[in-house]
Amino acid sequence: MEYKAPLETYAGKVAEVVIGKGEKAMKIGGESVLPFHFFEGTIENRPRLALEVFDAEPPGWSEWELKPYKDIISDPVAWAKKCLELGADLVCIRLVSTDPAGKNAPADKAASVVKQVTSAIKSPVIVYGSGDETKDIEVLTKVAEACAGENLLIGPLAKENYEPISKAALDHGHCIIAQTPLDINLEKELNVKLLKSFPRERIVIDPLSSALGYGMEYSFTIMERTKHIGVMFGDNTMQMPIIADLGSECAKTKQAKGNEKQGLLWESITALSLLLAGANILVLRLPESLKLIKEIIEGKI
Amino acid sequence: MVLIGESIHIISKDVSDAVKERNPKVIQDLAKAQAEAGADYIDLNLGPAKRDPEEVTQWLVNIIQGVIDLPVSVDTLNPIAMEAGLKACKKRPLLNSASGRTDSKELMLPLAKKYNTDVVISVLTDKGCPPDIDSRTESIMETVALANELGIPNEDIWVDPIILPVSADQKQVAEALEFINILQDLLPGVKSTVGLSNVSNGTPEELRGILNRTYMVMLGRRGLYSAIADVLDKELVSLNKGELPNIVDLIYKTMDGEAIDVSSLPQKEQDYVKTARVLMGETLYSHAWLES
């Protein structure tokens, strides 16, 4: 008798989220199998890799993190262009200047930076606010208005502020990042609440990413379970693509701060692990690790 | 199902203040309200009972027996308080509880024999709560064997599988159903009980009732003998009396995996189906489980 490999059949499909507009539009997710299970189905959209751009000079970066952007570190537009030259699929702007615990820059100013970058580059744009739940309402609403129709991916939206930010994103045509603190039950709760007024095809989940040795296994488990529940068991409140915002987490580690090569490996290993868990977008810091991960995805390594 | 009223609990501020002031009224009112609501036992949860354990426990048992005619479940981890409480009981009490912990085996279990009580034996061990059905089984077999050696028959033993909150460990909530299902094969003749409301611990207050009620029906179908529960929840008592056969039937159908067109049902029925699916582990729990 001919041997037939046992194959899993899946009950669900990850929503295909499109970010960016026109020629820049990029598809995220959409798979109906577990990550890298090419033998069980097709994965049309490979994971997308983003590099970070800060809207203010990044504090505490080591010499080798700064090296690729040496002369353009206070020019977000030039920095974003450079990211694409270095191989990034898209860029992730961090509006760190708006943090009330730091510079507390006005929302308008941050929104205008996002607008300049968005119009200058040929890729979709991810925008992360400072993470201050109150200030982010103002900042991300302004960003949504200033870039109306650009179909940005903006976040983080948390349980405390998802209502006003999702409304602004809906009104001005953007996608959103739903963020919860490493807890699958809270992740589902936020999704359920968002889905009452926001389309599934415009939500990306950020379950929080931790670095290797600093809790990465929690992130791994939650991403893996999200895919199991959404794709294997067909729970349609858990069928959104996942973003793994891991570069800055890895850069904070003792191992990455002390040694360039170690930092590169730390980020690459965390990135690869979270890809295997099911991440659809990776936000990385180091162009070298982006290159490495890209080669792995393309099967060159 | 035998219902043990849970409301006299030292964690409640009203109860703990009343105990401190030796003010019988609050406690007697709670006892009466639960008796009227349909409780079969009144649980007297004293926690660790560190201060004046003998005097406090006897006072409580006596004031309760002064106003109602139901047996008492003496619920404490302190063997001194336990013994004082059992001594004061007029009706055959329930010792709540012993477990597989070494101190409990040495100090609590013998009291059940000495005072000829029914006894709750939980699956807890020195290592804490067993993480799966096999280790629960192992723990309970060992402790019940010891109880039998002490002369306590299976018929006097109420096994407690320890219910964990569905918001914390959904898998174990489903496993406890299976444990109750196999219990009679493991230990023929034993009875069983659970701390029912623990399943909804950590869930927003207004949503706790439906979790408790649905889980009670599900556990009952698997053979659960009794539950320490919120008997002041009228719908819970009605369900237990068989006054809501449609709801029970719907929960059973959900447990059997029958196809149910949820959206065609009235709101309340929808909520019960969704809740049963969460408690079976079929859909992932979130605080918004009724909203999707």
Which sequence spans correspond to the domains of chain B? 2-233
The structural domain count of chain A equals 1
pLDDT at B48: 82
pLDDT, tens digit, 9 for 90 and up, residues A202-224: 999 999 999 999 999 999 999 99
* A6 domain residue, yes or no: no
**Residues in a beta bridge with A54:** A94
Residue B117 pLDDT grade (very low, low, confident, very high; cuts 50, 70, 90) = very high
pLDDT at B47: 82
Residue A80 pLDDT grade (very low, low, confident, very high; cuts 50, 70, 90) = very high
Chain B residue with the nearest C-alpha to that of A186: B286
* A234 domain residue, yes or no: yes
Chain A residue with the nearest C-alpha to that of B288: A189
pLDDT, tens digit, 9 for 90 and up, residues A102-118: 999 999 999 999 999 99
B291 in contact with A, Cβ within 8 Å: yes
Average pLDDT for residues B247-260, to the nearest whole number?
A: 96
Lowest-confidence region among A91-95, A144-148, B17-21, B145-149 = B17-21
B68 has a pLDDT exceeding 90: yes
The total number of residues shown for chain A amounts to 301
**Inter-chain CB proximity A237 and B167 less than 8 Å:** no
pLDDT, tens digit, 9 for 90 and up, residues B191-200: 999 999 999 9
In single-letter form, the type of residue at position A78 comes to A
**Inter-chain CB proximity B285 and A188 less than 8 Å:** yes
Which residue shows structure tokens 């990029």?
Answer: A26
Instruction: Report DSSP letters for chain A, one per residue.
Output: ----------S----EEEES-GGG-EEEE--SS-TT-TTTS---SPPEEEEEEESSPPTT--HHHHGGGTTTTT-HHHHHHHHHHTT-SEEEEE-GGG-TTTT---HHHHHHHHHHHHHH-SS-EEEE--S-HHHHHHHHHHHHHHTTTS--EEEEE-TTTHHHHHHHHHHHT-EEEEE-SS-HHHHHHHHHHHHTTS-GGGEEEE-----TTTTHHHHHHHHHHHHIIIIIS--TTS-S-BEEE-HHHHHTSHHHHH-HHHHHHHHHHHHHHHHHHT-SEEEES-HHHHHHHHHHHTT--
Query: Which residue in the set A188, A193, A195 is minimally distant from B284, CB to CB?
Result: A188
A235 in the Ramachandran plot: left (φ > 0), alpha (ψ -120 to 50) or beta?
Answer: beta
- Cβ neighbours of B285 in A, within 8 Å: 185, 188
* A288 domain residue, yes or no: yes
* Contact (Cβ atoms closer than 8 angstroms) between residue A60 and residue A99: no
* A3 domain residue, yes or no: no
pLDDT, tens digit, 9 for 90 and up, residues B161-189: 999 999 999 999 999 999 999 999 999 99
Q: How far is A242 from chain B (nearest CA, A)?
A: 18
Nearest to A126 by CA among A114, A136, A135: A114
* CB interface of B with A, residues 202-261, below 8 Å: none
Chain A residue with the nearest C-alpha to that of B170: A185
* Contact (Cβ atoms closer than 8 angstroms) between residue B72 and residue B61: yes
* Contact (Cβ atoms closer than 8 angstroms) between residue A19 and residue A7: no
**Inter-chain CB proximity A237 and B285 less than 8 Å:** no
| Terminal-residue alpha carbon distance, chain A | 36
* A221 domain residue, yes or no: yes
Q: How far is B166 from chain A (nearest CA, A)?
A: 10
How many Å apart are CA A96 and CA A102, to the nearest integer? 8
Interface pTM (ipTM) of the complex? Answer: 0.82
Which residue range forms the structural domain that includes residue A265?
A: 16-293
A8 has a pLDDT exceeding 90: no
**Inter-chain CB proximity A229 and B284 less than 8 Å:** yes
Here the tokens at position B212 are: 């408790």
pLDDT at A191: 98
* A11 domain residue, yes or no: no
Residue A270 pLDDT grade (very low, low, confident, very high; cuts 50, 70, 90) = very high
Residue B29 pLDDT grade (very low, low, confident, very high; cuts 50, 70, 90) = very high
Q: How far is B30 from chain A (nearest CA, A)?
A: 35
pLDDT at A212: 96
Query: Which residue in the set A189, A235, A238 is minimally distant from B288, CB to CB?
Result: A189
How many Å apart are CA A31 and CA B55, to the nearest integer? 67
3-class SS at B38? Answer: coil
Q: Which of A159, A184, A185, A240 should be substituted to probe chain B, the one whose Cβ sees the most B Cβ atoms within 10 Å? A: A185
B167 in contact with A, Cβ within 8 Å: yes
pLDDT at A173: 97
pLDDT, tens digit, 9 for 90 and up, residues A245-254: 999 999 999 9
A95 has a pLDDT exceeding 80: yes
- Cβ neighbours of B289 in A, within 8 Å: 192
A21 has a pLDDT exceeding 80: yes
Q: Which of A180, A186, A190, A192 should be substituted to probe chain B, the one whose Cβ sees the most B Cβ atoms within 10 Å? A: A192
- Cβ neighbours of A237 in B, within 8 Å: 286, 292
Residue A4 pLDDT grade (very low, low, confident, very high; cuts 50, 70, 90) = confident
CA distances B65 to A58, A132, B35, B77, B93, Å, are: 71, 57, 12, 22, 12
Percent of chain B residues past pLDDT 70, beyond the cut: 100
Q: Write the CATH number for A284.
A: 3.20.20.20
* A299 domain residue, yes or no: no
A300 has a pLDDT exceeding 80: no
How many Å apart are CA A28 and CA A283, to the nearest integer? 14
Q: Which CATH superfamily is domain B2-233 in?
A: Dihydropteroate synthase-like (3.20.20.20)
Average pLDDT for residues B100-117, to the nearest whole number?
A: 96
pTM score of the predicted model: 0.89
Longest dimension (CA), chain A: 71
Percent of chain A residues past pLDDT 90, beyond the cut: 91
SS3 for A103-118 is CCCCHHHHHHHHHHHH
Strands in chain B per DSSP E = 2-9, 41-47, 72-76, 94-100, 118-125, 157-160, 191-192, 226-229
Average pLDDT, rounded, for chain A: 95
Residue B147 pLDDT grade (very low, low, confident, very high; cuts 50, 70, 90) = very high
Average pLDDT for residues B79-97, to the nearest whole number?
A: 96
**Inter-chain CB proximity A185 and B167 less than 8 Å:** yes
* A216 domain residue, yes or no: yes
pLDDT at A162: 98
How many Å apart are CA A20 and CA A91, to the nearest integer? 11
pLDDT, tens digit, 9 for 90 and up, residues A45-71: 999 999 999 999 998 899 999 999 989
pLDDT at A2: 86
Query: Which residue in the set A184, A193, A196 is minimally distant from B284, CB to CB?
Result: A184
A1 has a pLDDT exceeding 80: no
How many Å apart are CA B193 and CA B211, to the nearest integer? 17
pLDDT at B126: 96
Average pLDDT, rounded, for chain B: 96
